[in-house]
Amino acid sequence: MSAETLPGPRAYLDYAGFAPVDPRVLAMMRPFLEAGIGNPSAPHSLGAEAREALDVARVKVARLVGGTASGVLFTSGATEANNLAVRGVVTANGDPRAAHVVASAVEHVSVLNACRDLERLGARVTLVPVDAEGHVDPADVQRALRPDTALVSVSAASHEVGTLEPLEGIAQVTRRAGVPLHVDAVGALGRVPLAAESLGVDLLTLSGNDLYGPPGTGALWVRPGVRLRPLVLGGAQEAGHRSGTENLPGIVGLGVAADLMRGDAGHGESERLAALRDRLLDGLAASIPGCRPSGSRRRRLPQHASVLLSGVKADGVLLDLDLAGVTASTGSACASLTQMPSATLRAMGVCPDEIQGALCMTLGRWSSAVDVDAVLERLPPIVARLRALSPGER
């Protein structure tokens, strides 16, 4: 399958915003969308078959996560999983007014907003700073801990700039202190080495669509013994942590997608994507004056290319790119609706002019050199034209 056939003739570089569902995933989901499948909670034979399908998917996801299958709780996506992790742990341990939460300043908005909601309930939150590349220093996490710290939440990698966080060092800090560690692994899982149980992670978030699975699916892996208060009450599905009839077709698709990601990891997919990423970043730096990568070049997601462009505004660049047949983004799709300046880039100390020109390009399973060449051909003249129209903004 080529970039010309999926997702279409465009050069598609917004896999972090929405990844096309793999046709192999769709093929396995189809029987569960048609007649003859029961409710997993039903006592009859069709219900038993549905429960078995859930169990198989749980095992597949657990293999990708690197943890026990019993710890996999299926959700509607990463946002719900992040909320369940942050709010579920803190409220399960009693009065949130007696709790303290540590998170990095560059977490996904679903984590940061969950922390702000806890603050309104009386909890205290400490946001750990990052350096100019977006790295969290484990020593800063250590200094942020207090006797009442109930949770530490640090993403595996920045959603906006692709910087990989030093999870091993952070996990050592939290394990010594006996504080649960939550990791939002969206973007990193299946692309960089990450085994939750052996690493010392206590809760891990994943998204189905990030794995080329169905949108509206996700999971939270929870280490046995970690207490959670459910956000959704009802029939006590998912071991009582997430009530509601399970999205069986979507969960089956998520399991297949997890298996396919494990296969990719063993066949050099990350190395292929990293080579395309470097070709793109190097080509843009050489062809556009005032263009530089955001985030780390050395410790970076293999599929993630983000740049800062001075003298232009990203919305105008993206519009012209779209008209030229290239799909990209400014970073977090979930935060783009608010039109607020990037909290991640501000935390990294990026100047306002460069923040306005921040672009994010993410590659995926169907990306090729054709897509990279399309960006290198079309983006430089777009930037030059927009700068010429607004010389005072240089």
Cα 357 to Cα 122, 307, 336: the distances in Å are 37, 8, 14
Q: Which of 235, 264, 293 is the last residue of a domain?
A: 264
> Any bridge partners for residue 12, and if so which?
327
- C-beta of residue 164 within 8 angstroms of C-beta of residue 299: yes
Q: What is the pLDDT of residues 101-159, one digit of tens each?
A: 999 999 999 999 999 999 999 999 999 999 999 999 999 999 999 999 999 999 999 99
* One domain, residues 260 and 284: no
Looking at the structure, do residues 252 and 297 belong to the same domain, yes or no?
Answer: no
In this predicted structure, what is the pLDDT of residue 334?
A: 46
CB-based contacts of 285, cutoff 8 Å, min separation 6 = 291, 292, 293, 307
Compute how many other C-beta atoms are within 10 angstroms of the C-beta atom of residue 129. Answer: 14
Tell whether 184 and 330 lie within a shared domain: no
**In the 3-class helix/strand/coil scheme, how is 274-326 assigned residue by residue?**
HHHHHHHHHHHHHHCCCEEECCCCCCECCCEEEEEECCCCHHHHHHHHHHCCE
| Model pLDDT, residue 265 | 83
Taking residues 196-209, what's their average pLDDT?
A: 97
For residue 394, pLDDT over 60 is answered with: no
pLDDT value of position 38: 86
Spatial separation of the C-alpha atoms in residues 332 and 250, rounded to whole Å: 24
Residue 166 lies in a domain: yes
1-5, 168-172, 366-370: which range is least confident on average?
1-5
Quote the pTM value: 0.92
pLDDT tens column, 13-25: 999 999 999 999 9
Position 374 pLDDT exceeds 80: yes
Looking at the structure, tell me whether residues 17 and 28 fall in a common domain: no
Tell me the mean pLDDT in the region 199-225.
97
pLDDT computed for residue 4 by the predictor: 42
For the cut 60, the answer to whether the pLDDT of residue 8 exceeds it is: no
Say yes or no to pLDDT of 174 above 70. Answer: yes
β-partners of residue 183 are 204
* Co-location of 47 and 191 in the same domain: yes
Last residue of a domain, one of 210, 231, 264: 264
Instruction: List residues with catalytic annotation.
Output: 334
For the cut 60, the answer to whether the pLDDT of residue 332 exceeds it is no
6 — pLDDT class (breaks 50, 70, 90): very low
Last-in-domain residue among 264, 280, 307: 264
Domain boundaries, position 141 = 23-264
Average pLDDT value for the chain: 92
Residue type, 359: L
Asked if residue 182 lies in contact with residue 202, where contact means CB atoms within 8 angstroms, the answer is yes
Buried b (16+ CB within 10 A) or exposed e, 371-386: bbebbbebbbebbeeb
Please, what's the b/e burial string for 317-350 (b: 16 or more CB within 10 A of its CB; e: otherwise)? bbebbeebebbbbbbbeebeeeeeebbbbebbeb
Quick one: what percent of the chain has pLDDT higher than 70? 94
In a domain, 3, yes or no: no
pLDDT value for 338: 53
**pLDDT given for residue 135 in this prediction:** 97
Are 107 and 217 in a shared domain?
yes
Q: What is the DSSP string of 116-130?
A: HHHHHTT-EEEEEPB
Which residue spans within the chain are E strands per DSSP?
A: 11-12, 72-75, 100-104, 124-128, 149-153, 181-184, 203-207, 218-222, 291-293, 304-309, 326-327, 358-362
Q: CA-to-CA distance for 170 and 156, rounded, in angstroms?
A: 11
Q: The domain spanning residue 212 has which CATH number? A: 3.40.640.10
pLDDT at 333 over 50: no
Identify the CA nearest to 214 among candidates 186, 242, 252, 265: 252
Instruction: Answer yes or no: do 196 and 340 share one domain.
Output: no
- Domain assignment present for residue 356? The answer is yes
Residue 4 lies in a domain: no
Same domain, 250 and 316: no
CB atoms within 10 A of CB 366: 19
pLDDT tens digits for range 40-94: 888 898 888 889 999 999 999 999 999 999 999 999 999 999 999 999 999 998 8
The answer to whether position 1 is within a domain reads no
Of 110-114, 170-174, 232-236, 357-361, which range is least confident? 232-236
Structural domains counted in the chain: 2
